[in-house]
Structure 1
């Protein structure tokens, strides 16, 4: 696992497919945004410790949506460290295993990519301690807020830290080569509309579920991507 410092207080943990992020409000107040792969809890704990932080300080795990490469290790980490698991109310039943993972509506060029993505281990049913909705305060990052971004899944969310100019987009937005609309959406036009909403936030740092964080010209890159891709929601990255 690669551990990358995006900016002070913010780490990215890169998995073979996808990534998770750690935000530190202090040694004993850490937040994990998404949880990587099933079985990855020991690696995540080691990664946090390698940067001088204590995994025992993990207070909350915020899931941007219910896919396996984002839910993965959440249950094991919560059990180890007593962290609260947070998800949008519409995706919480999927996280808990009470509802199936919804199938995306694939464009032709997405089909081979989707077959590769299916190699990610299936996430086990995972408890959700707090169900959230649009605008909710998440209790970290000096006022982190939920931004409901339906389209990738019905309960997809972004996490916005307005006082720090940081935006975690989940899989609504990708930054593989360039900032663009993500892939594998259950409702691509709704995902496109969600990306336009995120662009209006004008973040200084954009952290996507796939691809490199954008720290230079992030607001302009996200706005240009929304104008280029989101209008029709069907442009190949």
Structure 2
């Protein structure tokens, strides 16, 4: 196996950003572990008391493969085994270490069929829109990579029936808007939700709030969201599921009554809370 693959984002300029929670993992449920890496979260699904196997949801920032693999060994043991990597979508901060991890673990990578062009190198995402918010991250967002990556032989479309063989009890939901093929993951038995960027629990456009991780529910990151009608419907769909716990792509997890109240408020007031007053993708 060749481990000399050049990092897909090696030539990109990615402004150095992090949070006060970076590297501090949080066990949300016995089999659901959230690991913040700089400005984004990855999730490990699997109970280390029962198995050394796990599924990884999203692949973090560029050059973070070692951090993710070390976290897996710390949680599941030195002989741990990844069963699959599932992508909520293909933006740079969610696939930054994907190819390195797929090569090291030699596992299947799953993405929605509408996301496949962006993770097979065939298409690029629309560029970020700096006009959506006054926050510093929004202003510098055009510097973020928007190109697709080629995950090669590892990536394949998610099964059309909503199931995932390697993730028993969970189903994937198409929650488009932030990207065409964005998905979330939901487990009916305990109403656990991995939302990706369908909604987030931090104002992702503000550098100060990202660094401090001030918790406040918001729609998807504005600067990369291209279909606001679909984004609104996705949030309403997730609210209707009445999740008991939610891990989002950015920000701290939300649970219980606070999650129920805040997510319902977002669904009811999505236009006021989430949609920017101006922006190139509003229409």
TM-score in terms of structure 1 length: 0.88
Q: Is the 8 Å Cα contact of residues 84 and 130 (structure 1) preserved in structure 2?
A: yes
Please give the root-mean-square deviation of Cα atoms over the aligned residues, in Å: 2.5
CA shift in 2, pair 1:71/1:191, >3 Å: same
Q: Is the 8 Å Cα contact of residues 105 and 186 (structure 1) preserved in structure 2?
A: no
- Correspondence for 2:58: 34
Counterpart among 167, 182, 200 of residue 156 in structure 1: 182
Q: Is the 8 Å Cα contact of residues 60 and 97 (structure 2) preserved in structure 1?
A: yes
Deviations 1:146-169 (A, max 9, x none): 110111010111111112321111
Report how far residue 126 of structure 1 moved.
1.7
Counterparts of residues 39-54 of structure 1 (less than 5 Å): 39-54=63-78
Larger Rg belongs to: 2
Counterpart among 257, 264, 268 of residue 223 in structure 1: 264
- Distance in 1, matches of 2:84 and 2:66, equals 17
Counterpart among 210, 216, 238 of residue 178 in structure 1: 216
- Correspondence for 1:58: 82
User: Does 1:166 find its partner at 2:192?
Assistant: yes
Q: Which moved more, 1:175-184 or 1:67-76?
A: 175-184
Counterpart among 94, 106, 117 of residue 70 in structure 1: 94
Q: Is the 8 Å Cα contact of residues 133 and 148 (structure 1) preserved in structure 2?
A: no
- Distance in 2, matches of 1:115 and 1:81, equals 37
TM-score in terms of structure 2 length: 0.75
Q: Which runs of 5+ in 1 are unaligned?
A: none
Report how far residue 133 of structure 1 moved.
6.0
Q: Is the 8 Å Cα contact of residues 152 and 185 (structure 1) preserved in structure 2?
A: yes
Q: Which runs of 5+ in 2 are unaligned?
A: 1-22, 203-214, 278-283
- Distance in 2, matches of 1:136 and 1:84, equals 17
- Correspondence for 2:205: none
- Correspondence for 1:91: 115
